[in-house]
């Protein structure tokens, strides 16, 4: 065993707030889709930092962008703009429905900006009564108090006192439940175009189009939270592009920086004008370092060959998981789109997703969960096929260990 000095798991308990319970494994080095810990044990990364490391670890394009910008300019403030922020914003505008961009540091902050903009737009355009926000049960939009209230999981928002008001929750893929809630008082419907934390649930075509139509009928904005689905994760640059439905506001983060913290809110000029000078801000939003790295990540992912490969790699994943399931019968469904995949446990294994994660870790594979009964995979979009094959072999060993007891 190597000498870890004092930077071990015990130190976490001594000095860190206990809202996390991290693994005893402490990674120290990564390359591509592989990670090594303090004892030089190798892991294949099917987790991607929760859909963040879209190009794996230490991708040359990202490393070069960070080094180059790091020798030029680190931070200003939004009293001034900077070249990397302008270049990245132009690329986001040129490649999406959007005409205007607001930069933040995270998905939660991007969603906070989107929600504030929707409320401000409604106040300015329609008056003080149009304040209601409709979101979806089991949704997830971040951990600020506003976004965690909009997210449809009470366990995350309870226990902090009175919640922001006029927030209501419908059932995902149930258009009638949206119809029951929506009215002329609705300022926005906020949704993930594929629910991530809520269970890797894809929308039906009728549902997603129906929500768009209801928003149009009631003069409400449609906000897509693409924090997890954006920047190539589903095989499209953004998931809305594969759904033939265009939102009014879109949020993006996670993979946008390929591991460097950054978020963005995208919208139209007509809506954006309601966040006039002084109405919202972010100290680090549009930071030159973050925008330079994000530009490199965006350029690398926004390539037809890379996006097409996401779908072929997804097929390898799903075929491999189905073969494992043919042997061990632990999954009732393999679902998701692109490289956001959920393996839903059968009734016999309900509530045991964390056991599968831990067993996989013991075999040298990093994975995720989406709730108590779904094993989630969100690897690098450019993960080599050989790493997919090896990772699935390790996962099969983990499954076998659990089945054998």
Q: Which of 103, 140, 207, 331 is catalytic?
A: 140
* 199 and 269 inside one domain: yes
Residue 68 belongs to a domain: no
Q: If you ran DSSP here, which 8-state letter would residue 346 be given?
A: P
* 88 and 20 inside one domain: no
- Last-in-domain residue among 283, 301, 319: 301
Cα gap 336→201, rounded to integer Å: 6
Are 92 and 291 spatial neighbours (Cβ–Cβ below 8 Å)? no
* 95 and 188 inside one domain: yes
- Last-in-domain residue among 301, 320, 347: 301
Cα gap 194→172, rounded to integer Å: 10
Cα gap 364→309, rounded to integer Å: 25
User: What are the binding residues for pyridoxal 5'-phosphate?
Assistant: 107-108, 140, 225-228, 283
Instruction: Kindly report the length of the chain.
Output: 405
Are 104 and 290 spatial neighbours (Cβ–Cβ below 8 Å)? no
Are 118 and 223 spatial neighbours (Cβ–Cβ below 8 Å)? yes
Are 185 and 132 spatial neighbours (Cβ–Cβ below 8 Å)? yes
User: What are the binding residues for N(2)-acetyl-L-ornithine?
Assistant: 143, 282
**If we measure between CA atoms, which residue out of 224, 255, 201 comes closest to residue 381?**
255
Give me the CATH number covering residue 106: 3.40.640.10
What is the reported pLDDT for 6? 83
111, 237, 309 from 95: Cα distances, Å: 20, 9, 19
Cα gap 302→239, rounded to integer Å: 13
The number of CA neighbours under 13 Å toward the Cβ of 361 is: 18
Give bridge partners of residue 201 from the DSSP assignment: 195
Cα gap 337→354, rounded to integer Å: 22
* 82 and 210 inside one domain: yes
Cα gap 297→59, rounded to integer Å: 9
* 194 and 290 inside one domain: yes
Low-confidence ranges of the chain (pLDDT < 70): 1-5
* Other C-beta atoms lying within 10 Å of the C-beta of residue 185: 15
Give me the CATH number covering residue 334: 3.90.1150.10
Cα gap 183→49, rounded to integer Å: 39
Residue 163 belongs to a domain: yes
* 211 and 254 inside one domain: yes
Residue 2 belongs to a domain: no
Q: Is 108 left (phi over 0), alpha (psi -120 to 50) or beta?
A: alpha
47, 321, 372 from 33: Cα distances, Å: 10, 18, 25
Cα gap 358→354, rounded to integer Å: 6
Cα gap 36→93, rounded to integer Å: 38
Q: Which residues 6+ apart lie within 8 Å of 232 measured at CB? A: 54, 255, 301, 302, 306, 307, 310, 338, 381
- Last-in-domain residue among 281, 301, 321: 301
Residue 64 belongs to a domain: no
Q: Is 225 a residue of the active site? A: yes
Q: Which of 37, 45, 225, 236 is catalytic?
A: 225
The number of CA neighbours under 13 Å toward the Cβ of 298 is: 27
Q: Is 176 a residue of the active site? A: no
* 93 and 44 inside one domain: no
Cα gap 41→28, rounded to integer Å: 10
Exposed e or buried b for every residue in 1-32, given b needs 16+ CB within 10 A?
A: eeeeeeeeeeebeeeeeeeeeeeeeeeeebeb
- Alpha-helical segments (H) within 273-380: 288-301, 304-328, 353-362
Structure tokens at 37: 């810990």
Are 117 and 150 spatial neighbours (Cβ–Cβ below 8 Å)? no
HEC letters along 231-293: CCCCCCCCHHHHCCCCCCEEEECHHHHCCCCCEEEEECHHHHCCCCCCCCCCCCCCCHHHHHH
Q: Which domain holds residue 317?
A: 9-58+304-404
Are 88 and 295 spatial neighbours (Cβ–Cβ below 8 Å)? yes
User: What are the binding residues?
Assistant: 107-108, 140, 143, 225-228, 282-283
Three-class SS of residue 313? helix
Q: Which of 254, 331, 337, 387 is catalytic?
A: 254
Domain count within the chain: 2
């Amino acid at each position: 065993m190597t000498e870890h000095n004092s930077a071990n798991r015990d130190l976490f308990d001594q000095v860190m707030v206990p809202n996390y319970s991290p693994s005893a494994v402490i990674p120290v080095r990564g390359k591509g889709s592989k990670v090594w810990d303090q004892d030089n044990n190798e892991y294949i990364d099917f987790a991607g930092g929760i859909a963040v490391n879209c190009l794996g670890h230490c991708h040359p394009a990202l490393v070069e962008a960070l080094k180059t910008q790091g020798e030029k300019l680190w931070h200003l403030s939004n009293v001034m703009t900077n070249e990397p922020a302008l270049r990245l914003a132009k690329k986001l505008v040129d490649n999406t429905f959007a005409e205007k961009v607001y930069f933040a540091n995270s998905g939660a902050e991007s969603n906070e900006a989107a929600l504030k903009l929707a409320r401000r737009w409604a106040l300015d355009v329609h008056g003080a009564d149009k304040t209601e926000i409709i979101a979806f049960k089991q949704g997830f939009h971040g951990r600020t108090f506003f976004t965690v209230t909009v997210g449809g999981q009470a366990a995350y928002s309870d226990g902090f006192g009175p919640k922001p008001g006029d927030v209501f929750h419908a059932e995902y893929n149930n258009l009638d439940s949206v119809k029951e809630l929506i009215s002329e008082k609705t300022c926005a419907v906020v949704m993930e175009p594929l629910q991530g934390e809520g269970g890797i649930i894809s929308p039906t075509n009728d549902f997603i189009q129906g929500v768009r139509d209801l928003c149009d009928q009631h003069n409400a904005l449609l906000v897509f939270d693409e924090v997890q689905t954006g920047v190539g994760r589903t095989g499209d640059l953004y998931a809305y592009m594969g759904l033939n439905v265009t939102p009014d506001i879109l949020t993006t983060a996670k993979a946008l920086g390929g591991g460097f913290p950054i978020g963005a809110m995208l919208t139209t000029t007509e809506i954006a004008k309601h966040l006039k000078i002084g109405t919202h801000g972010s100290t680090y939003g549009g930071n030159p370092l973050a925008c330079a790295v994000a530009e490199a990540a965006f350029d690398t992912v926004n390539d037809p060959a890379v996006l097409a490969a996401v779908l072929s790699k997804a097929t390898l994943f799903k075929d491999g998981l189905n073969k494992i399931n043919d042997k061990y019968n632990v999954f009732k469904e393999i679902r998701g789109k692109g490289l956001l995949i959920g393996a839903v446990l059968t009734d016999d294994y309900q509530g045991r997703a964390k056991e599968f994660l831990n067993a996989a870790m013991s075999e040298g594979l990093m994975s995720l969960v989406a709730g108590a009964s779904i094993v989630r995979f969100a690897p690098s979009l450019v993960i080599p096929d050989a790493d997919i094959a090896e990772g699935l072999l390790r996962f099969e060993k983990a499954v076998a260990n659990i089945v054998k007891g």
